[in-house]
Amino acid sequence: MHNFLIIPSIDIQDGKTVRVVQGIPELNCKEYGNNPVDMAMIWRTENAKMIHVVDFDAATDHSHKNFDVIREICESVVIPVQYGGGVRSFEDAKELMDLGICRLVIGTLAFENPKEFVKILENFGPSKIVAAIDVVDDSVAIRGRKSVQKINADNYAVKLKDLGAERIIVTDVKTNGMMLGPNCNLSNRIADSTGLKVTLSGGISGYKDLIKVKEDTVNHVDSVIIGRALYENKFPCQKIWRVAESGIFN
């Protein structure tokens, strides 16, 4: 049986819940509600077992203006909160962990400063630190997905493994927020080349895509981050978690 965790995503900008098409704040920015804490509590009520929070202000401006909101989210739900955005140093990592974050997602820092990434990994442990790979046409994208590097995503994933990472969040940037369907092949390749745990992010448009992930990524993907499709009610939320956790996916 192939069970996997459904992780709702909450994107935060200027203290508000925001969903962003392709992860670019300037493009089709759409507000889906004012209070991220309320949103977190809604997902908890819907039986989510973890929440994924993205801080766009921290990612783009290294701003800490949403940190009070992040702390409140951590204090308001009893489930783990995973956080990504703007981690540029060990000090940033420590400050975020002190807010109550359970798992920290690190992208650009791991690429640009591997030694600092290893320091963070060794201090908090690989179960608390997750490496993120944003992918554009099989190449690694960093700095808020604005800078595409001349390195293949599969090769970079192996480097992350060598640094000590045990889990990778794989995002196909071109499908992220577009609900075009998940890029299962990309996640499968990275899982095969590294043997690491993989979380798929991007492209989930509804229930059929969850079935696709289940069927096409057996023994590769154990969790899926979903954003826009949940906010736009593309499937009954309760049904997602019941199906994912009750063994109906046989």
The set of catalytic residues is: 11, 134
Tell me how many degrees the CA angle 167-128-115 measures, rounded to the nearest 5: 80
Structure letter (DSSP) for residue 206: S
CB atoms within 10 A of CB 168: 23
How many CA atoms are closer than 13 Å to the CA of 38, on its beta-carbon side? Answer: 8
**d(Cα 244, Cα 130) in Å, to the nearest integer?**
22
Residues 6+ apart with CB under 8 A from 24: 144, 145
CB atoms within 10 A of CB 215: 11
Q: Assess contact for 219 and 188: CB atoms under 8 A.
A: no
If DSSP codes are grouped into helix, strand and coil, which group holds residue 185?
A: helix
Residues 6+ apart with CB under 8 A from 146: none
Residues 6+ apart with CB under 8 A from 69: 12, 15, 36, 37
Element holding 128 (H helix, E strand): none
